[in-house]
Chains A and B, each alone.
Chain A
Amino acid sequence: GGAAGQAPGAAQQAPKKVYTIGFTLPLTGELSSIGKIWEKVVYLAIDDLNKEAQAYGFNVEFKAVILDDGTTPEKALQNVQTLAQQGIKVIIGPAASSQVKAVKGFVDSNQIVLISPSSTAPTLAIPGDFIFRTVGSDAGQARVLATLAYQEGARKVIVFHRNDEYGNAFADFFKKYFSELGGSSIDVPYQTGLSDYAAEVASLASKVQSEKVDAVVLISFDTDGGNILSHAAESPVLSSVRWFVSEGPHGAAELKAPAVGAFAAKTKLLGTRPLFIGNPLYEDFKKRLKEKYGVDASVFCDTLYDAVMLAGWAMLRAGSSDGNAIRSALIEVAKHYYGVSGWAIFDEAGDKAYQDYGVWAIVKTDGGYDFKDVGVYERGSIVFTAKPYP
C-alpha cells in the first residue's frame, strides 16, 4: 500500500517535498488511554502544520509515522531505530522517562532529535544532548502542588504516589517544598501496573484514620488515578479529607462520573498541571480536538502539539536532514514560538525553560461533571480565577 491515502486532493504543481516525523507512542499498555488521545493530537498537529507551511508558501508535506511502544523501554529503542533506519531525523516520544533513557544513547550517537512531550524526570536534565522536552520537570510542579496544599490549609498530608521514577521523584520534591513551607507529610507509595487499586485505597483509608491527616496528595497517571479516586469516593473516611492531585488524572473520563464528581465537591479536590493559563490558542486547540476527533484534551496534549509544531518548523528552518542542523534550528525556533502550551524556550538541558502551572478542579456542569482550570501559580502563590466549589 502506498502513502496515497494521506494526501487528499489532487497533486497539481511540482511534487511536494515530504518531511517525515517519527512518533513512538504508548498505544498499548499502561499509558494507552493517553496514547490514544495523543494519536489524535498528532493527526491534528500534522494537519495544522501542513496548512501553515502551505500558507507560508512552502511546497512541502509533513507526514507522521506512528509506532506503538507499549510503554516499554526496549520497544521504544526498537521503534527509534526503525524510524531512524527510514531516514527519519526527528522523533517525538516516548512517553515515559525510563523509555527516554533507553533511547538516549542511540539518538545521541546517531544525531537524531528526540522531543518527549511528557518525560519529566529530573535525571534527564542533561545539557548538550539530543533530547528535548516540551514540559517542565517535576520539581516545578511539586512546588506548586505543595504551595496549593499549604495555601488551602493542609498541614499534615499523606503523599500517596506511584512507586516509579515519576511518582518517587515528584513525592520527594513535594515533601521537600511542603516541609519548607512548614507542613509535614507521610510517604505512601503504591505499586504501579496493577489492574485495580481497591486494596491500596483501603490501606490508605486506615492510614488516614490513624494518622489524622488533613489531606491526601495523590501523584498518579490517569488510569491509576481515576481508579484510585473512584474507589476513594466509596469511602467515608477518604471523603472527609482534602485531596490534592498531580497532573496525571486530569482529563481522565472516568472522573466525570457522578460519584467521583460528588466526591470531588465534597473533598474540594484540586489538581495542578503544567499549563499556560488564559491562552486563547489552547482554548481553540481544545475545541478543535473535540470537534474533529471527539476527544478531550488531556494531560500533555498541549505539549505534544507544540512538540510537533516545533519539529516541523525546525525541519523547515534547517532545510536539510542533518541532525545537528535540525537541533540548532529547533533551539532557535523555540525562542520565538508561542504555542498552545505557551512560550516554548528551552533551557540549556533542552527542557522547557519557563513552565507555568495551573490549578484544575472537577466542577458541576449542565451535563454532569467536567474538568475546569480554576487558578494559576503566580509568584509563589496560587491565584484563583474561579471559585470551583461553593
Chain B
Amino acid sequence: MIDVVGFLISWLTLLGIYAILALTLNFESGTSGVTNFGKVFFYGLGAYVGATLTVYLFLLLNGVDVSKTPPYDVSGIVLLGELAGKNPALNLGLLALSLATAFLVAGVIGYLLSYPIIRVGPAFVGFTLLSTGELFRIFLQHYEPVGGSRGLMSIPGPFSWVPQPRLREVLFLALVLAVLAATYLVMDRLTNSPLGRTLRAVRDDEVAALCMGKHVPKLKATVLFIGSGFSGVAGVLLAYYLTSVNPDMFVPAVTFNVWAMIILGGMGNLRGALLGASIFTFIDRALSFVTPQLGVTVISPDYVRGFAVGLVMVLVLLYRPQGLLPEGRVETVAWEELGGGASG
C-alpha cells in the first residue's frame, strides 16, 4: 500500500540536497573551524541566483518582454508553465548556467564575507554569518525584481520536458546524486591532503597556525569560497526541486538542521555528515507515516513525531557522544612512511 519507490525517490532527493549542505558545513566547521551559522544564507543565495536566472532567461529567450510580463506575475507564471517543456536544450543549458553562476556568486560572497570575521572567535563568526543571512532574507522580502515577498514560482526544472512524472523524478534524483558525489569527491580530496591538515591546524589554534606561517585569513576565505559555492549549488537544486523560492524558506532553522546532521554523524568526518543527514531526514519522514496511526486523540498525533525527533537526537548523542563516526586522521601517504619507520 505504501509507495516504497516514491518514498525512496522523494527521501533521497531531499537527503541528497541536505547531504551536500552537510558535507560543505562539515568541511567549513568540522574541518576548518569556520563556525558557519549562516549556511542558509549561501543556500538561499544559490537558490535565488538559480531561480532568478532561470525564470528571466527562460522568458527572455522565448521572446517575452519581462518588463511587461515579469516572471512573478500571474501572466508570467502561466507563461513559464506553458513554455517549460518545449525545449529540452534550453532547460538543460539553464541548469548548467545556474549551477555555475550560483557556485561563483555564493562562493565569491563567501570569500568576501571572510573579511569581517577574521579577527573574531568561532561563536562570533557564526553569529556574524547568521545575521548576514537574516539581512539577506529581509532584503529579499523587499526586493521586487526577485518577486519580493511573493518569491518566484513555476521555475522550469531541468527535466520538465520529460512527460512521465516518475521518470522525471528519477532523473532529478540522479542529478542530485551526481552533484552529491562530486561534492563528496572534492571534499574528500581536500580534507585528506596537506590543505586539510593545515585547515585542521587552523581550527585547533588559529594563532599558532598564523605563527607557523599559515595565511589564516586567506585560508578561511578559501574555505568559505569552496563551502559556499557548493551550498549555492545545493540551493539551485532546491529551487528546481520545489519549483519555487520564497524568502520565508531561508530561515535560520535550516542552518541548525544541517548542524544537527553533521554533529550527529560526527564533526570532521565526511561519511558522518552523510550518515547524519540520512538519519535526520529519515526519522522525520518515517515517523510521519507512523504517528498518525497512533490513535492519539487528546493531543495532535503529529506533536508526538516532533517530540520524538528531538528525543532521538538527544538519545543518539547520549549514546554516542563523539557523534556516530568520530573524526579520523588525515589520510595521506605520510602514514606509509611511518609503517616502514615504526617497524625499523
Q: List 29 interface pairs A-B (beta carbons < 8 Å), by A numbering.
A: A3-B295, A6-B295, A28-B303, A28-B306, A66-B302, A67-B292, A68-B302, A72-B249, A78-B284, A81-B7, A82-B288, A82-B289, A85-B4, A85-B289, A87-B2, A98-B249, A101-B151, A101-B153, A101-B243, A101-B246, A102-B244, A102-B246, A125-B74, A126-B74, A126-B77, A165-B149, A165-B150, A165-B151, A168-B148
| CB-CB nearest 5 A-B residue pairs | A5-B295, A105-B243, A109-B165, A68-B302, A101-B244
Interface: A84 (CB within 8 A): yes
Interface: A74 (CB within 8 A): yes
User: What A residues does B141 contact at CB under 8 A?
Assistant: 163-164, 191
User: What B residues does A110 contact at CB under 8 A?
Assistant: 165
Interface: B96 (CB within 8 A): no
State the B residues within 8 Å of A (CB): 1-4, 6-7, 10, 14, 72-74, 77-78, 81, 138, 141-142, 148-151, 153-154, 157, 165, 168, 242-244, 246, 248-249, 251, 253, 284-285, 288-289, 292-295, 297, 300-303, 305-306
Interface: A210 (CB within 8 A): no
Cβ contact of A27, chosen from B14, B81, B288, B300, cutoff 8 A? B300
Interface: A286 (CB within 8 A): no
Known: A78-B288, A82-B285, A168-B149. A27 touches B10 (CB 8 A): no
User: What B residues does A104 contact at CB under 8 A?
Assistant: 153-154, 243-244
User: What A residues does B1 contact at CB under 8 A?
Assistant: 86-87
B146 to chain A, nearest CB (A): 13
In the complex, what distance in Å separates the CA atom of A4 from the CA atom of B295? 8
Say yes or no: A73 contacts B74, CB within 8 Å. no
Query: Would you list which residues of chain A between 306 and 340 have a CB under 8 Å from chain B?
Result: none
Q: What count of chain A residues pass the 8 Å CB interface test?
A: 46
Cβ contact of B301, chosen from A28, A66, A126, cutoff 8 A? A66
User: What B residues does A1 contact at CB under 8 A?
Assistant: 293-295
User: What B residues does A5 contact at CB under 8 A?
Assistant: 295, 297
User: What A residues does B10 contact at CB under 8 A?
Assistant: 78, 81, 85
User: What A residues does B2 contact at CB under 8 A?
Assistant: 85-87
Interface: A169 (CB within 8 A): yes
In the complex, what distance in Å separates the CA atom of A110 from the CA atom of B6? 11
User: What B residues does A109 contact at CB under 8 A?
Assistant: 165, 168
Cβ contact of B288, chosen from A39, A67, A121, A165, cutoff 8 A? A67
Interface: A195 (CB within 8 A): no
Say yes or no: A73 contacts B289, CB within 8 Å. no
Say yes or no: B157 contacts A105, CB within 8 Å. yes
Interface: A77 (CB within 8 A): yes
- Chain A residue nearest to B257 (CB atoms) is A74
Say yes or no: B73 contacts A27, CB within 8 Å. no
Interface: A122 (CB within 8 A): yes
Query: Would you list which residues of chain A between 19 and 33 have a CB under 8 Å from chain B?
Result: 27-28
In the complex, what distance in Å separates the CA atom of A98 from the CA atom of B306? 22
User: What B residues does A3 contact at CB under 8 A?
Assistant: 293, 295
- Chain A residue nearest to B297 (CB atoms) is A5
In the complex, what distance in Å separates the CA atom of A109 from the CA atom of B81? 12
Say yes or no: B249 contacts A73, CB within 8 Å. yes
Interface: A123 (CB within 8 A): yes
Interface: A223 (CB within 8 A): no
- Chain B residue nearest to A43 (CB atoms) is B297
Say yes or no: A84 contacts B3, CB within 8 Å. yes
- Chain A residue nearest to B138 (CB atoms) is A191
In the complex, what distance in Å separates the CA atom of A4 from the CA atom of B294? 10
- Chain B residue nearest to A125 (CB atoms) is B74
Residue interface bits A50-85, CB-to-B below 8 A is 1, else 0: 000000000000000111100011100111011011
Cβ contact of A73, chosen from B148, B150, B244, cutoff 8 A? B244
- Chain A residue nearest to B291 (CB atoms) is A67
A44 to chain B, nearest CB (A): 14
In the complex, what distance in Å separates the CA atom of A68 from the CA atom of B2? 20
Interface: A2 (CB within 8 A): yes
In the complex, what distance in Å separates the CA atom of A127 from the CA atom of B251? 31
Say yes or no: A87 contacts B77, CB within 8 Å. no
- Chain B residue nearest to A32 (CB atoms) is B300
User: What A residues does B138 contact at CB under 8 A?
Assistant: 191
B261 to chain A, nearest CB (A): 15
Cβ contact of A2, chosen from B7, B157, B288, B293, cutoff 8 A? B293
A137 to chain B, nearest CB (A): 10
B169 to chain A, nearest CB (A): 8
User: What A residues does B294 contact at CB under 8 A?
Assistant: 1
B79 to chain A, nearest CB (A): 11
User: What B residues does A125 contact at CB under 8 A?
Assistant: 74
- Chain A residue nearest to B144 (CB atoms) is A168
- Chain B residue nearest to A80 (CB atoms) is B10
In the complex, what distance in Å separates the CA atom of A164 from the CA atom of B138? 10
- Chain B residue nearest to A105 (CB atoms) is B243
Known: A4-B295, A98-B151, A168-B150. A73 touches B246 (CB 8 A): yes
B172 to chain A, nearest CB (A): 11
A38 to chain B, nearest CB (A): 11
User: What A residues does B303 contact at CB under 8 A?
Assistant: 27-28, 68
B40 to chain A, nearest CB (A): 11
Say yes or no: A27 contacts B302, CB within 8 Å. yes
User: What B residues does A39 contact at CB under 8 A?
Assistant: 300
User: What A residues does B243 contact at CB under 8 A?
Assistant: 101-102, 104-105
User: What B residues does A191 contact at CB under 8 A?
Assistant: 138, 141
Cβ contact of A65, chosen from B78, B150, B154, B292, cutoff 8 A? B292
- Chain A residue nearest to B295 (CB atoms) is A5
User: What B residues does A169 contact at CB under 8 A?
Assistant: 150
Say yes or no: A163 contacts B244, CB within 8 Å. no
User: What A residues does B251 contact at CB under 8 A?
Assistant: 72
Interface centre among A73, A78, A102 (most CB of B within 10 A): A102
In the complex, what distance in Å separates the CA atom of A34 from the CA atom of B185? 47
User: What A residues does B297 contact at CB under 8 A?
Assistant: 5
A171 to chain B, nearest CB (A): 11
